Structure 1
């Protein structure tokens, strides 16, 4: 909004020229979302308590018994602060901003439906897996249709760390993009099992994709770094910055011991939009690197279920997802979280090295 209102005044008043810069508005969006989260957080948590939006704890994880009743659906705080920040600082005539918001809010709506179902039933059973998947597919398909009918967008898939090597998926790019968003959404959801565990890597991924998207939308940088240039997509860096700010603000209250949990409304929306950001930045496969922690958590569940069925009841891990395995081995929760964050930061740095190591 500020861009659309104030940047035209730059021709007469040079001070307003700063509103034309994506970098300035990105930093402003980050700070806005962060401050809004910290200011509104206590009131929001108190509101959730009044609504009795308490978390149900599985009996399989007795160490978490003390967390029963902690307010959930904190993802609504992330969604509110992020959306307000983006609406204030982004160019609202840019279609990529609205497409990204569609993915974020759409996946969040599916998560909200699931969270509300759990609260109504007073147990950890939300909507069916089929219904959840159907909702995710509808949002992902709508987002991909916006991309594939864009004249500036291509169906090529860049191969990380390899110079001038790409794969043209053609018509398969649409189902690939849908799979990427749905898979990322569910991967973040599986990771969200300890205080601050999911939001930490999400913040790292938001920073990484802010850089990638800014480069993708900058003709000179994109040509120099051998990245596919997509005109206009650089504006989404403002969204990425707002995501980082909202994530940091939420972490203020979600850090161990957590005052609030994000719920599916947070995890599904964050995961889905990370998948979409990877598509917009034309760094689809890099998502598996920067989001390596999410991949590991998801693979641990797949391996556990497969091994259980193959061996007729034996377990590969003490419990899946992976963070619960370490918990049952006696590693303190805070230590697991910090170590996973450190791993995520290292993976983020590896992902950024893709820009030069090819």
Structure 2
């Protein structure tokens, strides 16, 4: 919205700074951070009153969780998303369609997660509504977004997949691009959702991935930088840097309250939405495969669950002591802080590897 102040920059030269993505991104970070800092305590109090017993804790999980996490309210994603969306609308260019596509996926997935959290709290059970129905709705939202991305792009490139480390290889998926993009977005949403199991475990890797894809979006949307790095130029994606910045700011504010011992949990409201956001940004910027690298921690969490379920159904045995894999390490004797910090380190390393794909071609 503030972008429109550029139109009167001829009369007030100071408003010319709103032309610059870096300035507006910094503004979005600060705005989202301050919003969560200022309104977070009131949101937490309101959720605690309405939820009573808070988020149900899995009885088959680490026994320490039943003591340290019982009664903690969930749906903290409302804090993150409100701050992020407000800052994005304030600082981003409303004329950019990619901003609206990513927000569409983010809000859509947030509503699914919110309903799931509501059912868990109201029923005092860790089980929400039907997983099949949930995946079906997610797929519809992702499908609409991918179709819009395909329509906005240029010729065959709009339905193509690029490959990290290779500058000239393009695979045109044609009509199959939409189901491929749906898989990426839905997969990312649920992978982040599975990662959200310990205080601070999900939010920091999400911030790291968001910052990384903010850089990727900025470089992909800048013709000069894209040509220099020999990556594919996608006009308009640079504006997503503002959205990613808003997410980082809101995430920092949330981490203040989510740091152990957490005063609030992100819940499916936040984790599903933020994962969907990352997936949709990767589709828009044509870096879907890079997301598998940058978000490798989320992939690991999801794969651990798939392996555990498949192994138990086929052989009756469990590969891990408990899935997702962060609980496996807890059962092996790692403290919660050790698991969280070590997983953060992994997220940083994977982000650096993901960024290196922009130059190593």
TM above 0.5, one fold?
A: yes
Query: 2-side partners of 1:217 and 1:44: how far apart?
Result: 36
SS in 2 for 1:23: helix
Q: Is 1:275 aligned with 2:276?
A: no
Query: TM-score w.r.t. structure 1 length?
Result: 0.97
Query: TM-score w.r.t. structure 2 length?
Result: 0.96
Name stretches of at least 5 consecutive residues in structure 2 with no aligned partner: none
Q: Is 1:263 aligned with 2:264?
A: no
Query: 2-side partners of 1:49 and 1:183: how far apart?
Result: 31
Partner of 1:290: 294
Structure 1 residue ranges (4+ consecutive) displaced by more than 4 angstroms after TM superposition: none
Partner of 2:333: 330
Query: 2-side partners of 1:263 and 1:56: how far apart?
Result: 11
SS in 1 for 2:166: coil
Q: Is 1:346 aligned with 2:349?
A: yes
Q: Is 1:214 aligned with 2:213?
A: no
Partner of 1:33: 32
Query: 2-side partners of 1:117 and 1:314: how far apart?
Result: 31
Deviations 1:39-61 (A, max 9, x none): 11111111111112611001112
Deviations 1:266-289 (A, max 9, x none): 011000110001111111100000
Indicate conservation of the 8 Å contact 2:330/2:336, yes or no.
Answer: yes
How far apart are residue 165 of structure 1 and its match?
1.9
Q: How does 1:125-140 map to 2 (within 5 A)?
A: 125-140=127-142
SS in 2 for 1:158: strand
Deviations 1:110-134 (A, max 9, x none): 1011111112212112111011111
Query: 1-side partners of 2:168 and 2:135: how far apart?
Result: 36
Q: Is 1:148 aligned with 2:150?
A: yes
Partner of 1:80: 82
Query: 1-side partners of 2:322 and 2:204: how far apart?
Result: 22
How far apart are residue 322 of structure 1 and its match?
0.3
State the aligned residue count: 356
Worse-superposed segment, 289-298 or 231-240: 231-240
SS in 2 for 1:11: coil
Partner of 1:57: 57
How far apart are residue 12 of structure 1 and its match?
2.2
Query: 2-side partners of 1:131 and 1:308: how far apart?
Result: 24
How far apart are residue 339 of structure 1 and its match?
0.3
Q: How does 1:228-247 map to 2 (within 5 A)?
A: 228-247=232-251
Partner of 2:310: 306
Indicate conservation of the 8 Å contact 2:301/2:325, yes or no.
Answer: yes
SS in 1 for 2:288: coil
Change beyond 3 A, Cα 1:284–1:50: same
SS in 2 for 1:260: coil
How far apart are residue 222 of structure 1 and its match?
1.2
Q: Is 1:202 aligned with 2:206?
A: yes
Name stretches of at least 5 consecutive residues in structure 1 with no aligned partner: none
SS in 2 for 1:331: coil
Q: Is 1:252 aligned with 2:256?
A: yes
Deviations 1:46-91 (A, max 9, x none): 1111112611001112220021110100001111101110111011
Partner of 2:187: 183
How far apart are residue 98 of structure 1 and its match?
1.1
Partner of 2:169: 165
